[in-house]
Structure 1
């Protein structure tokens, strides 16, 4: 993921930035409302942000112009809902671009959309579905984190294929090529991230039970 600085055509960079902007704006509103109601959740929100920052900084070589790494967005999406991860991810990606040369400013919108929009919504949806199917909490957390990671990279492969279609096979051939290369490193990384997220979530259930109980309180439908 983390498409490098200057790699996307200008019109693609602008388009993805415009697509991601509403999610960041609404996420800020959602997080601020939640923290006004329960300011004691700030520490737990910080844990979710740190988890995403650390995991998404552990990059491995993959595609030219991109990299492969865990995402860390599943935990925050499960705890606070997917909307909260857009502003958190914005800060994470901005710091990584400026301090670690990981990603870039011109590609910030594209990276935001795959990492902090698609990934978190997949994680929240999978976790709710697993809960509705009466799967154990550990199974739900694992599937949510693992599939959010994979779908982030499916989105990135689509972004790259859209920007650089194959001269013969077009978008479909380029997408198959990009996603196939990502799969070599990302499938084991996604499984590892799922297992690690289960461990962290269980630790939070043990040591932050009161905060988690607050998060289980009914949310407004818009926070879903």
Structure 2
């Protein structure tokens, strides 16, 4: 969810902006380093940003009266790690706020924290664990992208509960989480499946780039090396 303009108290807007800023700065540095050291990945980097923009712009009415959408951040987190997605996600959210009135500028820090920071880190953590367990790539991608999606909505529910603790934070969190869950859980499953299809396509058209990023083994390496985790 993108929290709408003016929906959070000023103090919360400032607090979430301050909390998000270090991650975004780190993301800018990570993105610049990625482009400088691996210029062959620029097209894939742009595609990761475009994928996030398109999926997170698909605003769908919720059966509970709100709205939901996929996030797409899990794919970029797998490909380039979460710091890069903190920057790409921020760019996506700025453009969506300005061009689509999707989210807001005053609430940008909160939206960045939930969608561009928390989601990618949770998804990437799941991806790393599953790689260490040597599960198939499709399982890694599905779980990582689904959890990145769900984590965004869990954090958003917490942000709204902090702003409107009626009557308590716990009760408000349960209310907001329930509003989103009925629609978001199936959306997260769908996003995971879309991610599996995406990475199968990438494996066929961008195999060398995926090998360079550590997603797949190099052709000269044994297939079981795919289960390892890149540094």
Q: What is the TM-score normalised by the length of structure 1?
A: 0.93
The 5-angstrom pairing of residues 18-167 of structure 1 reads 18-62=18-62, 67-167=67-167
Work out the CA distance in 2 between the residues paired with 1:103 and 1:178. Answer: 17
Q: Which residue of 1 aligns with 2:223?
A: none
Q: Deviations over 1:188-222 (max 9, x none)?
A: 100000000110011111100111111119xxxxx
- Cα RMSD for the two superposed structures: 1.5
Q: Deviations over 1:71-102 (max 9, x none)?
A: 00000000000110011011100000000000
Work out the CA distance in 2 between the residues paired with 1:201 and 1:125. Answer: 18
The 5-angstrom pairing of residues 172-187 of structure 1 reads 172-187=170-185
Work out the CA distance in 1 between the residues paired with 2:196 and 2:78. Answer: 11
Gaps of 5+ in 2: 216-229
Shift of 1:187: 0.4
Is this contact kept in 2: 1:24–1:86, CA < 8 A?
Answer: yes
Shift of 1:39: 0.7
Is this contact kept in 2: 1:74–1:119, CA < 8 A?
Answer: yes
Work out the CA distance in 1 between the residues paired with 2:75 and 2:138. Answer: 12
Work out the CA distance in 2 between the residues paired with 1:141 and 1:60. Answer: 23
Q: Which residue of 2 aligns with 1:220?
A: none
Work out the CA distance in 1 between the residues paired with 2:204 and 2:31. Answer: 24
Shift of 1:135: 1.1
Work out the CA distance in 2 between the residues paired with 1:77 and 1:84. Answer: 7
Shift of 1:180: 0.7
Q: Which residue of 2 aligns with 1:215?
A: 213
Work out the CA distance in 2 between the residues paired with 1:25 and 1:61. Answer: 34
Shift of 1:67: 3.3
Segments ≥4 residues shifted beyond 4 Å: none
Work out the CA distance in 1 between the residues paired with 2:203 and 2:113. Answer: 30
How many residues get paired?
A: 216
